Structure 1
Amino acid sequence: MKNHYWFVFCMLCVVTVAPVGFSDDRPAVSELVKQLESKKTSVRIEALELLKEHKRPETIPAIIARITDHKSSVRLAAVEALSVFEDDQTRQALTRALKDDDDRVRYAAVTGIRPLACQEILSHLIGMLSDKHDEIRMAAVRAIARIKGRDAINALSQATNDDELEIRMAALTSLGGYGSAALPVILPHGKDRHSYIRFTAVHSLREIADESSVPLLCGMIDDDDHSVRVAVVCALGILGGTRADEGLIQALEDRDTVVRMSACRMLGMHACEAALGRLIDMMQSDPEQAVRESAAQAIARIGHEDALPAVTSALHKSYQEDRLFLMNAMMELVEKKAQHHPETKETVSKPITPSPSVNEDEKIARMKKHYQQAAALFKQGQYAEAITEWEKVLTLAPNHAQSKRMIQRAQNKLSQEAGHEQP
């Protein structure tokens, strides 16, 4: 027994040290292949693991021979060793392994076959959708998603009715990559009793961006789950059009802050003049500062000069923390008015603002400058520098909510980057 382990240890040293492709590693590989016939289970497994690391195509037939080994642990090692190759004989061998009695082997086979998924093996993968193990069914869904065509859509449609929510969600997410052909499968799930399924269906409809989904989405504006409503608003924002805008205007009345903010932004993106009156009301009186800001930004993007008096009036009556975004909105509207009326460009004056002191005007200008610099740095991925600029805004206006939120976002980005850098 000791001789077997000593041999495997020596082969490990040789195969690891010898550069792949050099002629002097071939005897070692040849000896590893011979060890696949060893009576010792552990030796066969070790040999397969070393052959997997070496990735020599000429060893494929010997590895394939082990997928019928009487020991399931050896069959598992053989399937895992084959997963590094991408050729027809490997695909055929892994397809046979899908029927193994051991669930670990079946899982390794369906996972390994994923990069090789094609129409020829679709029927075998469909069979895996009935496997008793959730992990295997999930892996089958992910493999099927790599295959295009109507048959794959039908297979994923079967998976959308799985007993496990996560598998249903994975199937619906995958269907989003099939375009309008998958709509008949996805649309009914917008009325599913599970909010996770409705959310995933909306996400896929957003990815497909087919206007025929607008009626369903508009009907989901009053969904019980706020995350679904946010997803619906974003999907309608991507789709656009008169009917979508009607749904977004309806969403302005939502009780959830994020839904109202999202609806404001989407209507601004669409330059929807039909929403202007309601947006002005929200800019002036919504209880949430973030919503008031989103409404003001939307009004500025719409750019209708009739909104200018309302913005000016709001600036007179605004909270201190609202002054910066209202000033920005007012300046955008003034600029757009000048562009629309070039003959009066030189005479266009800024609307009358409250009579703040000189120091107050300077403070607003400095806040705007620091905020814009911070936003530019954030977009460039310079998060630490952006935080410094937003902190300068807070020294001028300690309660400026948007700067506080953006500092938190920048800190989260820095934390994510630090996490990726760890070994």
Structure 2
Amino acid sequence: MFEEFYKKIKQENISDQNLLMLSDLDFGELRISIKDWQSLSSKLRQEIVIRVSEMAEESVDLDFTSILRLALDDPESEIKESAIAGLWESEERKLIPKLCDMLRKDSELSVRVAAAINLGHFALMSVTGKLLDKDGERIYTPLIDALSDENESIELRRRALESISVFQTDDVTNWILWAYREVSDQLKQSSVFSMGKSCNPIWIPTIVEELNSEDPAMRYEAAIAAGEQMAESTVPILIEMLADTDIEVRSAVIQSLGIIGGSSAKKALQALLESEDDFTREIVQESLKVADLDQPGMDMRP
């Protein structure tokens, strides 16, 4: 399969039609070694990874897991990062050991951060019973190691915290509290985000407090967390926050009101349909669809 694809792209014909040849292949069917892959220019490899990721996002019927999995071994850090991002929605268990290994050992911090973020997807699968117990343990260990290492960068530690926060352990609870008490704004933001992902109601009072923060970044994270927690007690505050001066905060508030639902939330959202700009109206319409379903249905964070 790759031989035919290789001939076509050598003629600089990287059309969507040619890229479709790489979809829905088992890793063995791809029949390409990392050496074959590296024979392509780095620019071409990056373009392939980005293009197939975009195509997969546009159509759920396409699956480029195999070529993206191969690209995880690319020597270029930017290509590895793009491949990890492209695998964000993959449920392929075989990716877990590779991502854990990249988190532990990759020479580039940006790649390790990307791996930590992607493992959050598998962590959620684990706690919702979609993976084996041993998979959860395999995910948890490198994340907690990265989080607890004082020599690691703040960026890696915060992303590890966000990903591990779905595991309701005493250690995770303590690390969320630690991050919240730190002077780093980034750690505090990740802490509040993690309070939401944890679905532990002990954090709701703190989330409510941060909804009133002077820092728009904290209000944004708190609004997301309120939705993740399905915290009905936050609805009155969220409704007031529909007048927030920060557009990103307002967007997060609208999405959370849709997720939490209820008559008050729906009424407040419906009132926005007639008075707001096109961008806001589109978010409101999507949120009302979720509210009507009466169940979570939106990705709360980019």
AA matched with 1:156: L
Which of 151, 160, 165 in structure 2 is aligned with 1:171? 160
The percentage of aligned residue pairs carrying the same residue is: 15
Task: Quote the offset at 1:381 in angstroms.
Answer: 4.7
* Residue-by-residue CA offset, 1:294-345 (whole Å, 9 max, x unaligned): xxxxxxxxxxxxxxxxxxxxxxxxxxxxxxxxxxxxxxxxxxxxxxxxxxxx
Which residue identity is paired with 2:117? R
2:19 maps to what in 1?
A: 52
| Residue number among 61, 69, 78 corresponding to 1:104 in the alignment | 78
C-alpha separation in 2, matches of 1:59 and 1:239: 39
Partner residue in 2 for 1:146: 121
Aligned residue type for 2:41 = K
The answer to which structure, 1 or 2, has the higher relative contact order (CA under 8 A, 6+ apart) is 2
1:126 equivalenced with 2:116 (yes/no) = no
Cα shift at 1:164 = 4.8
With over 3 angstroms needed to count, the CA separation of the structure-2 counterparts of 1:117 and 1:232, relative to structure 1, is: closer
User: 2:37 is matched with which residue?
Assistant: 67
1:305 aligned partner: none
Shift of the 57–51 alpha-carbon distance from structure 1 to 2, 3 Å rule, reads farther
Separation in structure 2 between the aligned mates of residue 132 and residue 417 of structure 1, nearest angstrom: 44
Change beyond 3 A, Cα 1:187–1:54: same
Q: Show structure 1 runs of 4+ deviating over 6 A.
A: 228-235, 418-421
Of Structure 1 and Structure 2, the greater helix share is in 1
Matches within 5 A, 1:215-364: 226-227=214-215
Corresponding residue number in structure 2 for 1:416: 280
Q: Secondary structure at the match of 1:104?
A: helix
Q: Output the CA distance in 2 between the equivalents of 1:203 and 1:104.
A: 26
Please state how far the C-alpha of 1:152 moved relative to its aligned partner: 1.9
User: Does the 8 Å CA contact 2:50/2:86 hold for their aligned counterparts?
Assistant: yes
* 1:193 to 1:62, Cα distance in 2 relative to 1, 3 A: same
**1:116 counterpart letter in structure 2:** S
Q: CA deviation at 1:194?
A: 0.8
1:160-214 deviation per Cα after TM superposition (whole angstroms, max 9, x unaligned): 465253x544433333433457324423222222133123213322443436668
Which residue of the partner structure matches residue 245 of structure 2? Answer: none
Residue 200 to residue 71, structure 1, CA distance change in 2 (3 Å): closer
Provide closer, same or farther for how the CA distance between residues 115 and 208 of structure 1 changes in structure 2, counting only shifts above 3 A.
Answer: closer
Report the CA distance between 1:157 and its aligned residue: 3.0
Higher alpha-carbon Rg = 1
TM-score (norm 2): 0.52
The amino acid of 2:43's aligned partner reads S
Question: How many pairs are equivalent?
Answer: 224
> Post-superposition shift, 1:418?
6.9
**Any conservation in 2 of the 1:144–1:152 contact (CA below 8 Å)?**
yes
Q: Contact 1:36–1:48 (CA<8 Å) still a contact in 2?
A: no
